[in-house]
Structure 1
Amino acid sequence: MSRFRALWQASLNATKKALTWNVEDLIPPSERYIFNFNSKEELKKWHLYSDSEYGGLSSASLEIADAGNGLSGIFSGNLSLDVTAGSKWNISRSGFCGMRSKKFDGFIDLDPYDTIALKLKGDGQMLHIYYLYRELAKIPLARYLPTWRGNVIDAELEMNPSRVVGMSLSVNAEGGVPGARSGPGDFQLEIDWIKALRTQQLQSSLFFIAA
């Protein structure tokens, strides 16, 4: 019996020690890179779209360049309100471009995080970002709204942070948030990276084995 008790105690001690060693591993890091625009390989994770797919004349490009602060992704182009003559698409207006990530391998789980952060430099043309200098933009996940071509739409949709399948950035010649510069013409956005942040304390429960 004493041998059995000794084995049981050894097993219990090993379990306690394992829990002590790995408890930090159970808590996700406070920040997580989602995209890091520091190589041409990174660009393969994105594709461009614009009103040109529907008869518009806007254009966009995405490339890696040294913007004076290391390598950055340069999303740039021209917004046009014009429409191709004789287009088969019956569109009332044009003037939008965007970059959309290709679908993740299934999805990514951002449930442990509450904020999306972007290190970037804009020209004031971005719909959701109004920065003229390289800044850190933080957008709480709770404030994300359903949009279409950069404009908020009236729809009963709720974001599920545990099953994020992709991300996108867009510019629009009309509409957007109040105070943002709008209108046709050239635009440029320099973006270094996109991260998920946990700015609030993570609520979790830990179970302990009593001796």
Structure 2
Amino acid sequence: MTNQNNRSKWDFGRFLQTLTYFEVIPFFNCLQRLLQGRAKDNKDKPIGGKRVGVILVAGATGGVGKRVVRRLVERGYQVRALVRNTHKAREMLGDNVELFEGDITIPETLTAEMMPNVTAVICCTGVRVQPVGGDTPDRAKYYQGIKFYMPEVVDSPEIVDYQGIKNLVQVAANYFTPLTEGGSDEKVVFDFTNPSDDIKNTWGAVDDVVMGGVSQSGMQLVEGTALFAGNVSTDNSGGFASVRTRNFDTPIDLAGYKGVELRVRGDGKRYKFFIRTEARWDGVAYSYSFDTVANTWMNVRVPFADLIPVFRAKTLQDGEPINPSKICSFQLMLSKFEYDGELNPKFSPGGFALQVEFIKAYGGAMPQFIMVSSAGVTRPGRPGINLEEEPPAVRMNDQLGGILTWKLRGEESVRESGIPYTIIRPCALTEEPGGKALIFEQGDNIRGKVSREDIAELCVRSLEQPKVCNLTFEVKEAEDTQSSPDWESLFSSLHDRIAAIKS
């Protein structure tokens, strides 16, 4: 039996601090936040990662485009706006956006200088529609919708909505920054080479002090990396040190990817990487062990298919495979144990150090060309259509220069380009506040309305969604306008519907 007199002193204060940091004891956590002047919000949690590179927004000063730009900037993306007048665009979009002067209807203005480091295009262009006889300076009539006035098109729908889109698609296809291995894209979750304050407030130590041990570790930002380091001890029957993220306020959706990749430099020891898909403190985790080479940078790929469901280092033979659409937290660990009582063959007590440059998802094709089109584009001339029940744009398609017909031709040029795409067909656009429940459909049969705010949000969220890659769908506001959009369910419904058709 172990002589209790030889046990190292257990640090109860550090044990309590760990539980408080990870909100296992909510009362103490709230008290800590108040004492530190720290309000609970989303700023110290990642929003689910973002695409590497520049996002090009065409139609950036339009009703949807300017909202898309604002959201991208707020979320830390690099944004380049394609505009016809840089002076007016600067006044509207601010100083945090790179401007490129060009016109999609004039191919010679769409040069290679527009495309360096661009990994995706969000196209919000469209032929301008206005009331016959003009509009007020603030375009109040335009924002009411064409059902309130007799409309006319200012430009040619064929030139803007078809030829212009075709021009933009062509330059994108020629100059897009290549995707990663296998034609797939990546999604960065943590970039420690350019850290923000939220990273410092996300990772915390979970050492064997929670079980009576005395090991100590932490995560520090050092020279463009996150340094997981400390001292691991086997005293008091301990033997592990780890750092773990707080639960993300919004679970990260990595469905459609093959796994997670870490770039690390270690010390020759074997480490573990954990992913949790539930917010419980002491629940099931999905584990992957990897070896390091001392003082050598290496990329470690953690395939979702190879993750082992475990509970306290014991494998769960009947455990469910990981659901990568609901990732709640990450964890890095150095432990003397492997699984089910087996020892880590490369473990030794004492000091350790593991540097991490980034954590990202890999292997999921994501849309590179997101186009805002219109519901109703397939209805003009469709047999069986009752024009009296259709929105004005369908009824007046011919009077408006075939606006919907040419939008459909523009869509076809995107689909035929070979570029991974998402085509969004909103119903009648409004200036109403966003944040309402939405309905996604396919087949171009729905009617209704939807806020420009919600379409802008949909564009940004689609940017990181493998589930909507190479899909065309319609969207409208739900009748239950008290609810907010359930983005995960909306995207999953499209993904599941296509999967069912293919099967």
**Of the two, which has the highest radius of gyration?**
2
The partner residue of 2:189 within 34, 41, 62 is: 34
The partner residue of 2:249 within 99, 102, 105 is: 105
The answer to whether the Cα contact below 8 Å between 1:99 and 1:168 also exists between their aligned partners in 2 is yes
State how far apart, in whole Å, the 1-side matches of 2:257 and 2:362 are: 5
1:92-113, CA deviations, whole angstroms, 9 ceiling, x for partnerless residues? x321111111122221110121
State how far apart, in whole Å, the 2-side matches of 1:97 and 1:155 are: 27
1:104-125, CA deviations, whole angstroms, 9 ceiling, x for partnerless residues? 2221110121121100012213
Question: Aligned pair in 2 of structure 1 residues 151, 117: CA closer, same or farther (>3 Å)?
Answer: farther
SS at match of 2:264: strand
Bigger share in strand: 1
Pairwise CA distance, 1:51: 0.9
Question: Aligned pair in 2 of structure 1 residues 59, 17: CA closer, same or farther (>3 Å)?
Answer: same
State how far apart, in whole Å, the 2-side matches of 1:33 and 1:180 are: 31
Larger RCO of the pair (alpha carbons < 8 Å, separation 6+): 1
The answer to whether the Cα contact below 8 Å between 1:101 and 1:167 also exists between their aligned partners in 2 is yes
Pairwise CA distance, 1:149: 4.5
Please tell me the residue identity of whatever aligns with 1:46.
W
Asked if 1:48 corresponds to 2:205, the answer is yes
Pairwise CA distance, 1:151: 5.3
The partner residue of 2:292 within 131, 156, 172 is: 131
The answer to whether the Cα contact below 8 Å between 2:260 and 2:360 also exists between their aligned partners in 1 is yes
Question: Aligned pair in 2 of structure 1 residues 16, 169: CA closer, same or farther (>3 Å)?
Answer: farther
Question: Aligned pair in 2 of structure 1 residues 205, 190: CA closer, same or farther (>3 Å)?
Answer: closer
Q: Any unmatched runs of 5+ in structure 1?
A: 1-6, 84-92
Pairwise CA distance, 1:77: 1.3
Pairwise CA distance, 1:147: 2.5
User: Superposed, which structure 2 residues align to 1:73-92 within 5 Å?
Assistant: 73-83=226-236
Question: Aligned pair in 2 of structure 1 residues 37, 205: CA closer, same or farther (>3 Å)?
Answer: closer
Pairwise CA distance, 1:54: 2.2
State how far apart, in whole Å, the 2-side matches of 1:20 and 1:147 are: 52
State how far apart, in whole Å, the 2-side matches of 1:150 and 1:171 are: 12
**In structure 1, what is the equivalent of residue 330 of structure 2?**
167
Question: Aligned pair in 2 of structure 1 residues 112, 80: CA closer, same or farther (>3 Å)?
Answer: same
1:161-187, CA deviations, whole angstroms, 9 ceiling, x for partnerless residues? 111111111110233688740132222
SS at match of 2:308: coil
The answer to whether the Cα contact below 8 Å between 1:114 and 1:200 also exists between their aligned partners in 2 is no
User: Superposed, which structure 2 residues align to 1:184-203 within 5 Å?
Assistant: 184-198=349-363
Q: Any unmatched runs of 5+ in structure 2?
A: 1-152, 174-183, 273-288, 367-465, 474-503
Question: Aligned pair in 2 of structure 1 residues 148, 170: CA closer, same or farther (>3 Å)?
Answer: farther
The answer to whether the Cα contact below 8 Å between 1:30 and 1:197 also exists between their aligned partners in 2 is yes
SS at match of 2:325: coil
The answer to whether the Cα contact below 8 Å between 1:126 and 1:180 also exists between their aligned partners in 2 is no
The answer to whether the Cα contact below 8 Å between 2:264 and 2:297 also exists between their aligned partners in 1 is yes
Pairwise CA distance, 1:155: 4.2
Question: Aligned pair in 2 of structure 1 residues 50, 179: CA closer, same or farther (>3 Å)?
Answer: closer
Please tell me the residue identity of whatever aligns with 1:77.
G
More displaced, 194-203 or 39-48?
194-203
SS at match of 2:319: coil
Q: TM-score, normalised by structure 2?
A: 0.32
The answer to whether the Cα contact below 8 Å between 1:150 and 1:172 also exists between their aligned partners in 2 is no
Pairwise CA distance, 1:14: 4.1
**In structure 2, what is the equivalent of residue 86 of structure 1?**
none
State how far apart, in whole Å, the 1-side matches of 2:234 and 2:343 are: 20
Pairwise CA distance, 1:157: 2.2
Question: Aligned pair in 2 of structure 1 residues 136, 50: CA closer, same or farther (>3 Å)?
Answer: same
Pairwise CA distance, 1:136: 0.7
- Number of equivalenced pairs: 184
Question: Aligned pair in 2 of structure 1 residues 148, 169: CA closer, same or farther (>3 Å)?
Answer: farther
Question: Aligned pair in 2 of structure 1 residues 56, 20: CA closer, same or farther (>3 Å)?
Answer: farther
The answer to whether the Cα contact below 8 Å between 2:338 and 2:344 also exists between their aligned partners in 1 is no
Q: TM-score, normalised by structure 1?
A: 0.71
Pairwise CA distance, 1:131: 1.6
More displaced, 124-133 or 144-153?
144-153
**In structure 1, what is the equivalent of residue 265 of structure 2?**
121
SS at match of 2:305: helix
**In structure 1, what is the equivalent of residue 37 of structure 2?**
none
Please tell me the residue identity of whatever aligns with 2:208.
D
State how far apart, in whole Å, the 2-side matches of 1:33 and 1:17 are: 32
**In structure 2, what is the equivalent of residue 58 of structure 1?**
215
